[in-house]
Amino acid sequence: YLWEEWDFFKNFDGKVTHVFNGIDCSFWNEELLENADLPRSERRRAILRRFGLEDGKTSMFIGRFDKAQKGVDTLLRAIEILSSDPAFWEMRFLIIGKGDPELEAWTRAVRERFPRNVKVVNEVLPREVVRELYGSVDF
């Protein structure tokens, strides 16, 4: 997209920085994690303890709750479907974000229905915490 609009963006030369693929590798670097020396499974256990959950394979959604984009509604439906499988009780879901009030309410309802499996945080977390999360969860 940047190359298609280069004539427009070059007007901002020196004022903006383009981060290729949207990832700043100097920050989003696993070596910068608090417990970088530990295996991911141990980092995951520590993160889950911090959020009040027991260990288990962990999927995370982090982003804006938006009905037209992002897919948090799809994740919530998937959790409800997965709950009928015995393996569900070994799964953990961290759902972090805010936005559409109906989606926020739905995330809280799913958390209340599955407190052993789902943790919801309806706030924006500091980048350093988000980096720890990405470096600790399974999916």
Indicate whether 1 belongs to any domain.
Answer: no
Report the alpha-carbon distance of residue 75 to residue 60 in Å, rounded: 10
15 vs 72, higher pLDDT: 72
Q: Within 13 Å of residue 67, how many CA atoms lie on the same side as its CB? A: 6
Average pLDDT over residues 102-122: 97
Indicate whether 139 belongs to any domain.
Answer: no
Calculate the CA 104 to chain-centre distance.
15
Per-residue pLDDT tens for 115-133? 999 999 999 999 999 999 9
> How many angstroms separate the most distant Cα atoms in the chain?
57
What six digits make up the tokens of 1? Answer: 């997209």
Indicate whether 18 belongs to any domain.
Answer: yes
Indicate whether 35 belongs to any domain.
Answer: yes
What pLDDT, on the 0 to 100 scale, is given for residue 121? 96
Indicate whether 41 belongs to any domain.
Answer: yes
Instruction: Please give the model's pTM, rounded to 2 decimal places.
Output: 0.81
Residue position matching structure tokens 């945080």: 121
Structural domain range at position 95: 6-134
Q: What is the CATH number of the domain that holds 66?
A: 3.40.50.2000
Indicate whether 122 belongs to any domain.
Answer: yes
Per-residue pLDDT tens for 24-79? 888 989 999 999 999 999 999 999 999 999 999 999 999 999 887 888 999 999 99
Report the alpha-carbon distance of residue 98 to residue 20 in Å, rounded: 26
Q: How many domains would you assign to the chain?
A: 1
Helix (H, G, I), strand (E, B) or coil at 110: helix
Confidence of residue 138 (pLDDT cuts 50, 70, 90): very high
